[in-house]
Structure 1
Amino acid sequence: MSRLAFRAAAAVVGVALLAAYLAAALFVADLLRAVWAARPNLPVLLALVAAGALGSAYLSYRLGTAQVLANLEGDRVPRKRAPDLHRRIDALTARMDVARPELYITDARAPNAFAVGGGGDGGALVIDRSLFRLLSPREVEAILAHELAHLEGNDGFAIAMADGIGRSLVGIATVATLPALLALSGLAAASAWIRGRPRDRSGPFARLHQALAGGLFAGFVLATLVSRSRSRKREFAADDRAAEVTGDPVALARALRRIERATEPTWPFAPFSTHKRTDEAAERWLSTHPSTDERVERLRETAESQGPTRRIPAGPSQATVGRGRSRR
């Protein structure tokens, strides 16, 4: 095919693409205009949007909680099977403003404990069996208090709602800008074809499309960062509450160190594993948990403010251990 024939064919393709994208953009714009024209007054509209965002976040939270419990590789443990553990939980819940949760024991062979649910239903407390071999009774009690503090503060619900609302707002912004995204995408593609460079996306329309899409992505990232920041703050708050309830911040600090060491991979290629210790700022910002170093240091300060305490185990800076990622 001669160069002139190729340019003519490319121009035809470009015009066809432009027509298709613009038609789609106009259809979406007309649909959004129709929805906007049928809107109620502003207060009612804002209330409906808020209710929709909250409702979708709540539904996601409830379904997620149910799925976590359904997928557990373990069973609910009645009182008669673990009377001492149940007595410890009873004693802790009596000191806290929390309904007594259901107890589940798993056999994942990874030292871990986490709480799901909360609020009026009491939630559930999930503990891996390996924790009882790894930790002393006082350290187990400290971990239990930490997880009960999450249920007391209904942290899972609060974080899920904040995350869901942020994502809903980004979704609304994406729908509102969809006609512009389609039009710019069509203009960018048509411009490239008409210029005889189908793969070239360096034109002004492509840059505008990338800027708009980048802004939406930045909104999504910001919503995620806000949610993760809140999650890390709730971890600190749960540590503080556990130290207050048990009166033994050292026990919680030791438990965190023991779990950290037990979850650090020992195989030769561990530096390439997902459990490696990292100083990357982006990974810290996206983490749901603060580093063990930060948590232990805060607990150390709490212990020192209470007077003479037992020694808290050294962290990775003083010992050859790495940072784990168990949920606790």
Structure 2
Amino acid sequence: MRRQLKPDRGLQARMFLTMFLLAALYLFFGVVLWQAGVGYTGVALIVGLMLVAQYYFSDQLVLWSMGAKEVSPREAPELHALVERLAALADVPKPRVAIVDTPLPNAFATGRSPSHAVVAVTTGLLERLNPPELEAVLAHELSHIRHRDMAVMTIASFFATVASFLVQQFYYWGFWGYGDREDRDNRGGAMVVYLVSLVVWILSYFLINALSRYREFAADRGSALLTGAPGQLASALIKISGLMQRIPTRDLRQAEALNAFFIVPALSGESLLELFSTHPSLERRLAYLRELEREMEGH
């Protein structure tokens, strides 16, 4: 019989604090834009439309960019059966299932809500993991769906995208265009907005990555709850990370743009500092899974 895990209050507190800091940063950003008295409604509208499109069409966009193909239960009966069973355990509608024909061993989930979700695995993953390990990886992805992580990260990135847009627009067209003396005040205001946008962009980048890392821990925890076997996910992560080193560089580079979706990020060359990463380090994830395993064993 599976043991229930106690709520991870520390993880919950870190996620709450990160989201609070993001909210405070974005509130400050909004006040600065309002005080600047310059009309940025158009910018917010453009970015908003971009994020709405991303929110509603993320599943199709991600599948298309990865070259994933949706498969029917007849085409992949065992995979569908496993996803259906885990979806029932996670209390979410069964997501659509897709396969990516690539030696890169990985998996991802996307979609704006549990009822509009898709889980994708690569042929490299199916070839290399045993059934319990595959189950643990899929349980991790179902946990992302259960937690609505796609929606959370899209909402969290809204003002960061606005700030990024403003930084780029000001750099190319903004304060550089103010050359006359009568425009000095406008140029000064544009400079303030540019600098604040730059700071908001940089800080939100680190905060959003931190939030993404915490949600990866939450999905690892969800996998442990669904399967009752944290060790199987740990084994899968070790296999995937080890195999990454043997995948052609070109395949890794093609996948790097979608790192936030993967269960293990695809990194060519030296690993990035965790501060700049959307995922925790392998060592920290394995330590967390060992802690969960000890807790489930009652030690």
Into which bin does the TM-score normalised by the smaller protein fall? 0.5 to 0.7
SS in 1 for 2:162: helix
CA contact (8 A) 1:116 1:125 kept: yes
State the shift of 1:187 in Å.
8.2
Output one character per residue of 1:149-175: Cα deviation in whole Å (capped at 9) or x when no partner.
Answer: 111111112102211233225656998
CA contact (8 A) 1:100 1:122 kept: no
Q: Structure 1 residues 292, 35: CA separation in 2 closer, same or farther (over 3 Å shift)? A: closer
CA contact 1:118–1:124 (8 Å) conserved in 2: no
- The change in CA–CA distance for 1:266 and 1:238 in structure 2 (over 3 A counts) is closer
Tell me, yes or no, if the aligned pair for 1:57 and 1:160 is still in contact at 8 Å: yes
The residue number in structure 2 matching 1:17 is none
Match of 1:250 in 2: 231
Q: Please say if residues 162 and 227 of structure 1, whose CA atoms lie closer than 8 Å, have aligned partners that are also in contact.
A: yes
Counterpart in the other structure of 2:17: none
Q: Name the amino acid aligned to 1:275.
A: S
**2:129 corresponds to which letter in structure 1?**
L
Query: Residues 63 and 89 from structure 1, CA distance in 2 versus in 1: closer, same or farther, beyond 3 angstroms?
Result: closer
**Paired AA for residue 149 in structure 2:** D
Q: Which residue of 2 aligns with 1:58?
A: 52
Give the residue type in structure 1 aligned to 2:228: G
- 1:285 paired with 2:275, answer yes
Unaligned runs of 5+ in 2: 1-35, 182-188, 249-265
**Displacement, 1:99?**
1.5
Report the secondary structure of 1:86's partner residue: helix
- Does 2:152 match 1:158? yes
2:200 aligns with 219
What does 1:166-315 correspond to in 2, within 5 Å? 166-168=160-162, 171=165, 181-182=175-176, 186=179, 213-265=194-246, 274-278=267-271, 283-307=273-297
Q: CA RMSD in A?
A: 4.0
Q: Which residue of 2 aligns with 1:200?
A: none
Aligned length: 243
Q: Aligned ranges for residues 32-71 of structure 1 at < 5 Å?
A: 55-71=49-65
Partner SS state of residue 80, structure 1: coil
Q: Which residue of 2 aligns with 1:124?
A: 118
Tell me the distance in 1 between the aligned counterparts of 2:38 and 2:82: 60
Q: What's the secondary structure of 2:221's corresponding residue? A: helix
Judged with a 3 Å threshold, the aligned counterparts in structure 2 of structure 1 residues 233 and 90 are, in CA distance, closer, same or farther, namely same
Stretches of structure 1 that go unaligned for 5 or more consecutive residues are 1-31, 37-44, 189-207, 268-272, 310-328
- TM-fit CA distance, 1:274: 4.6
**Deviation of residue 285 (structure 1)?**
1.9
Closer, same or farther: CA 293–220 of 1 in aligned 2, 3 Å: same
Once residues 142 and 112 of structure 1 are traced to their aligned partners in structure 2, the CA distance between those partners, rounded to angstroms, is 12
1:80 is aligned, of 62, 74, 79, to 74
Report the Cα distance in structure 2 between the residues aligned to 1:176 and 1:129, rounded to whole angstroms.
44
| d(CA) in 2 for partners of 1:133, 1:180 | 52
Identical residues among aligned pairs (%): 27
User: 1:22 maps to what in 2?
Assistant: none
